[in-house]
């Protein structure tokens, strides 16, 4: 599968390593340019490309950047991209890092906000697990204690493709419903960072509250982002 990854931080770098090792054709980009990714490319065999190139000609494009950086992506980034390309959002809103995003503070699910910024439907995945665990804790199908990851989105076929990738990486995937329900896997919810099995993920999603915990809300003085 051809996979573009925008962002080479903890999650983006880990996904580059894992997906390349599984034999996928991975291209990776960051905001600083391909030359800064030479080491990661040499290590993994992935292609270091520009952000625009990462969004073109791939079956899947994974956006793994801070929420504050999403509006800084080119406004027409996905306009020429094939409608069948699945776009995955791995991000989480952390006000201390991202500043205040008014729409999210008002209750819009984070990945709905990302989709609005990108002008493109997204699937929310890979946001509930620590990068080191994503790198190291995959297990073969059927093994006890296999970690499960929730996947939310509005396109069933897109979700199925992402869930198949998750399975290939050694994790169970749980359908977490529509993108409007993706608040159930945001920071501060029971599933976030919990490394649960599939049954545990389903229970955690059902027990989630859409009231943001104080540590994941902006202070009044935080800079605002529309």
| pLDDT, average across residues 175-195 | 98
Structural tokens at position 119: 């002008």
- Is the pLDDT score of 80 beyond 90? no
Indicate whether 222 pLDDT > 70.
Answer: no
Residue 137's pLDDT band (cuts 50, 70, 90): very high
* Torsion sign, CA atoms 59, 63, 160, 24: positive
Which residue do the tokens 């499960």 mark?
A: 148
pLDDT of residue 221: 47
| Among the listed residues 126, 130, 90, 129, the one whose alpha carbon sits nearest the alpha carbon of residue 110 | 90
Predicted confidence (pLDDT) per residue in 1-27, tens digit:
999 999 999 999 999 999 999 999 999
222, two tokens: 């935080």
Cα separation, 224 vs 206, whole angstroms: 31
What confidence score (pLDDT) does residue 3 get?
98
Q: Quick check: 219 pLDDT over 90?
A: no
The yes-or-no verdict on residue 224 having pLDDT over 70 is no
By the 10 Å C-beta count (0-12 exposed, 13-18 middle, 19+ buried), 154 is classed as middle
Give the global pTM. 0.95
Burial 197-226 (b: 16+ CB within 10 A, else e): bbebbbebbeebeeebeeebebeeeeeebe
The mean-pLDDT minimum among 106-115, 195-204, 211-220 falls in 211-220
The predicted pLDDT at position 81 comes to 85
What is the spatial distance between Cα 146 and Cα 171, in angstroms, rounded to a whole number? 6
* Higher-confidence position of 225 and 182: 182
Residue that the structure tokens 């699910």 belong to: 109
Give the pLDDT of residue 223: 53
Q: What is the mean pLDDT of the chain?
A: 95
Task: List, as own/partner pairs, every contact residues 207-212 make where C-beta atoms lie below 8 angstroms and the sequence separation is at least 24, other chains included.
Answer: 208/183, 208/184, 210/107, 210/183, 210/184, 212/105, 212/186, 212/188
* pLDDT digits 0-9 by tens, 62-79: 999 999 999 999 989 998
Q: What is the pLDDT of residue 58?
A: 97
Average of per-residue pLDDT across 166-190: 98
User: Residue 220 pLDDT more than 80?
Assistant: no
Q: What is the pLDDT of residue 96?
A: 96
Sign, Cα dihedral of 190, 184, 124, 68: negative
Judging by beta carbons within 10 Å of its beta carbon (0-12, 13-18, 19+), is residue 163 exposed, middle or buried? buried
Contact 121, 115 (CB under 8 A): yes
Structural contact between residues 200 and 147, judged by C-beta atoms closer than 8 angstroms:
no
**Is a pLDDT exceeding 90 seen at residue 40?**
yes
Local structure of residue 152 (DSSP, 8 states): B
Give the residue from 96, 82, 93 showing the smallest Cα distance to 124.
93
Across the range 165-190, mean pLDDT stands at: 98
Q: What residue ranges define each of the domains in the chain, with the CATH number in brackets?
A: 66-214 (3.40.50.720)
**Residue 5, beta-bridge partner list:** 28, 62
């Amino acid at each position: 599968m051809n996979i573009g990854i925008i962002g080479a931080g903890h999650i983006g770098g880990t996904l580059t390593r894992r997906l390349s090792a599984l034999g996928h054709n991975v291209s990776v980009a960051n905001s600083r340019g391909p030359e800064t990714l030479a080491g990661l490319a040499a290590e993994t065999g992935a292609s270091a490309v520009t952000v625009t190139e990462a969004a073109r000609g791939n079956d899947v494009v994974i956006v793994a950047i801070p929420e504050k950086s999403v509006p800084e992506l080119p406004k027409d980034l996905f306009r020429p991209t094939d409608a069948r390309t699945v776009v995955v959002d791995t991000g989480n809103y952390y006000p201390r890092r991202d500043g205040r995003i008014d729409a999210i503070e008002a209750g819009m699910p984070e990945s709905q906000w990302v989709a609005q910024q990108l002008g493109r439907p997204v699937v929310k995945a890979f946001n509930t697990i620590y990068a080191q665990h994503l790198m190291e804790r995959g297990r073969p199908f059927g093994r006890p204690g296999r970690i499960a990851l929730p996947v939310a989105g509005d396109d069933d076929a897109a979700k199925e493709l992402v869930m198949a990738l998750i399975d290939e990486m050694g994790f169970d995937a749980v359908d977490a419903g529509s993108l409007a329900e993706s608040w159930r896997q945001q920071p501060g919810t029971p599933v976030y960072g919990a490394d649960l099995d599939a049954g545990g993920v389903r229970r955690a999603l059902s027990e989630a509250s859409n009231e943001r915990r104080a540590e994941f809300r902006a202070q009044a003085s935080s800079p605002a982002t529309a």
